[in-house]
Amino acid sequence: MRSILRSLFVVCLLATACAGASPPPAVAQEQPLEIRSASQPFKIDDPSAKTIGRLVWRGGIMMTANSRHFGGWSDLHISPDGKTLTSISDEGAWLTATIAYDGEANLAGLSNARIGQLHGLDGRLIASKAEADAEAMARLPDGSWLVAFERDHRLWRYRTLTATPTPVEGPAEIGRQPANGGIEAMTALDDGRVIMISEEYSERNGTVMGWIGTPSANRYQWRSFSYATIPDFRPTAIARLPDGSFTVLERAFDFARGVRCRVMRVDAGQFVAGGTVQAEELARLASPYAVDNLEGLAATRGPRGETLLWLISDDNFNPLQRNILLLFELAP
């Protein structure tokens, strides 16, 4: 029965998505937000389950809020001390919140949340979907934010998320990406370099294109690499792990199997111009495990020095999808 219900859910989900869920208009101004959290089961048919692959469950929440602008979360940043969450939406909104833990340092909820809307180059709030489709973000060493947009493919740099941005020249191929298949994975290194991966743009079979940006005289010098993919799965996020390697989130979706995600690991030495990144699978999330349209990823150190992985979902403002935040510990 559960498999039948799951299949019906997937059909309804896709039908609603294809019909085009109506996104809300832009957030009028920065405002406080009350996030209501409910516990997210790790494995719905086995309450005792705690691990999948190399990931150990550290808690999850399903989130709703007192604002119709809450949703569509496409990337994620967690402060190094694990206290603050920042996210961006594919409708151009931003979110900040304080993270709450239980007595065992597992994820319990969010508080002190605020929501606002990104500005455009003219200083006005971004209003149209064509301009507002923010899909990736990176915290730069000076504390500013680099944001990648789809549809109108571009990079904008924000001194703060409430500031007017400045445009950043992207790689030569940025405008060749499919409208809804642009840069979804992006992270920044301590030396200012930026690593980005396209969701769908490819010049070689079995790969998508990525770029390494080296800062030089207020711009970046971009050099491309390839990221090896398997059928159906495409990268949606990347984060640097505390040990200097990287983790990448990949997502797939179809009628029969619903949403599936792969959590990957990549040695830092693989990111070289002209090379091909071959990522190692750490775990694969699919029903009945906790999963949805996961698009955001972050990594921090926990209180015992353990490596923690954070995942957030984009609900597409679809009532049949959910905004979930998941926390895992990476086993040695």
Domain map of the chain by residue range?
2-322
- β-strand partners of 148: 136, 155
- What is the structure's pLDDT at 60? 98
For residue 152, which of 137, 170, 164, 138 has the smallest C-alpha distance? 170
- Give Cβ neighbours of residue 305 (< 8 Å, ≥ 6 apart): none
Strands 219-228, 276-277: pairing is parallel
CA atoms within 13 A on the CB side of 213: 23
Could you give the C-alpha distances from 147 to 18, 134, 160, 183, in angstroms and in order?
27, 7, 11, 10
- Give Cβ neighbours of residue 200 (< 8 Å, ≥ 6 apart): 177, 178, 181, 182, 208, 234
The CA distance from 146 to 157, in Å, is 4
Domain 2-322 coded CATH 2.120.10: yes
Residue 307, phi then psi, degrees to nearest 5: -90, 125
CB 36 within 8 A of CB 63: yes
CA quadruple 181, 11, 9, 260: dihedral positive or negative? negative
- What is the structure's pLDDT at 291? 97
- Which stretches of 12-168 are assigned E, i.e. beta strand? 31-33, 35-39, 51-52, 55-65, 73-78, 84-89, 93-101, 107-117, 134-139, 145-149, 154-158, 166-168
Instruction: For the chain, 332 residues long, give each residue's pLDDT as a single digit of tens.
Output: 344 334 434 444 444 443 345 566 666 679 999 999 999 999 999 999 999 999 999 999 999 999 999 999 999 999 999 999 999 999 999 999 999 999 999 999 999 999 999 999 999 999 888 899 999 999 999 999 999 999 999 999 999 999 999 999 999 999 999 999 999 999 999 999 999 999 999 999 999 999 999 999 889 999 999 999 999 999 999 999 999 999 999 999 998 899 999 999 999 999 999 999 999 999 999 999 999 999 999 999 999 999 999 999 999 999 999 999 999 999 99
Cα 310 → chain centroid:
9
At 82, list the tokens: 């694990």
